[in-house]
Amino acid sequence: PYPVYEQLRDEAPAYWAEDANTWVLSRYDDVSAALAAPETFSSAKGIFPSPPGVDQSDLFLPMLIMTDPPRHAQLRALVSRAFTPRRIASMETSIRQTTDHLLGQINPGPWDFVSDFAGPLPAIVIAELVGVPADDREQFRAWSSTLVQANPIHGARDGLAAAASLYEYFAGFLAERRRTPRRDLISDLVHAEVEGERLTDDEVLGFCLLLLVAGHETTTNLLANSMAILTTRPQDRARMAHEPAVLASAIEELLRYDSPVQGLSRTLTRDITLHGETLHSGQTALLLFGSANRDHRAFANPDEFQVEREPGRQVAFGRGPHFCLGAALARMETRIALHALLNHTSFKWFADLPAAKRLHSGPIRGYASLPVQ
């Protein structure tokens, strides 16, 4: 259970968090309604809770995730020309190969689930998706893990340096793909066209970086949280190993039960009244997905993990116009990875939770290290 979330939902569903200088919305209906109302809850000034006076649009390249409608819909239509369901589906075989390769490298005895498996897998998948050649993958993975571990809002220099290196790398790549298009995402992004409009170079680069920011650590921690939750549930594991429908609904339940993204922020564009409080234009509101997903007003027995819970309502991927573009990819990766682990003959599925180290992060809930056997 998350007792603080429960107290917030019951006693102060619109809560002013003085220290963090933000409103906090914790009920399912309020979080869902805010996500569906970008004209009032704007993403343009940033989506991470940040110190007063920090405008995150100064820190990042133009990014889809920090753009409001109507521009957002145009950008999303353009990137969707390249980031297609067909492209995602076509990655299934290579994700399986990468999974088998990573598991094949693991020595018998204890290993670290995060650094040896759940960290590398999504980085390799994104590298492949974008079109990073095999020779550059190690370097790319190193930058990516520095980038995701650092919080650029607080000026973590390693993170900013890694972002700069990635930017430069992608820029070279982009120039090359302009000259010689290949069958990869970056080539398709460069040439995507909707009603005569194309993405600028900065928009293509921003999108490539966004894929890492949005798709790496999130997936890593869905896998790590899944490992931790399932370690005490042998019966659920046995069913998930052999029944594809149970595996699919279990993944939705894992997303709900321990959401990798616990919350993201919006900025109010006008004054509104909610639960008797006035939220003023210019103030921020933190939308707690993790709490919404445990709200008994939306889910019966929310603190129970039920592998076959009716899927479809959890908000771990957000909702509305910014609904996670990579949701199908994240689900596929998790399905392939869990299936391989659940059916692996020599994997005991034992996570040493007392020895695990939690990740210190604002939005992300998960593990920095998770010893397993």
Q: Which residues in this chain contact ligand HEM in the complex, by CB under 6 A? A: 35, 43, 47, 64-65, 76, 126, 210-211, 214-215, 218-219, 222, 260-261, 264, 316-318, 322, 324-326, 329-330
Closest CB 132 distance from ligand HEM, rounded Å? 13
When CB distances to ligand HEM are compared, the closest residue is 326
Token reading at 273 = 């009244």
Closest CB 210 distance from ligand HEM, rounded Å? 5
| CB within 8 Å of 358: residues ≥ 6 apart | 366, 367, 368
CB-nearer residue toward ligand HEM: 91 or 106 = 91
- What's the start-to-end Cα distance of the chain, in Å? 27
CB-nearer residue toward ligand HEM: 146 or 267 = 267
| CB within 8 Å of 135: residues ≥ 6 apart | none
Among candidates 35, 14, 10, 7, which has minimal Cα distance to 283? 14
Token reading at 117 = 């498996």
Q: What angle do CA 291, 156, 189 make, to 5 degrees?
A: 75
Closest CB 144 distance from ligand HEM, rounded Å? 11
Q: In 10 A of CB 131, how many CB atoms?
A: 17
Closest CB 320 distance from ligand HEM, rounded Å? 7
Tell me how far apart the alpha carbons of residues 66 and 70 are, in angstroms, rounded to a whole number: 12
CB-nearer residue toward ligand HEM: 210 or 346 = 210
Q: In 10 A of CB 64, how many CB atoms?
A: 19
CB-nearer residue toward ligand HEM: 216 or 309 = 216
CB-nearer residue toward ligand HEM: 210 or 247 = 210
For residue 362, which amino acid is it? G
Closest CB 97 distance from ligand HEM, rounded Å? 18
Closest CB 349 distance from ligand HEM, rounded Å? 20
CB-nearer residue toward ligand HEM: 286 or 372 = 286
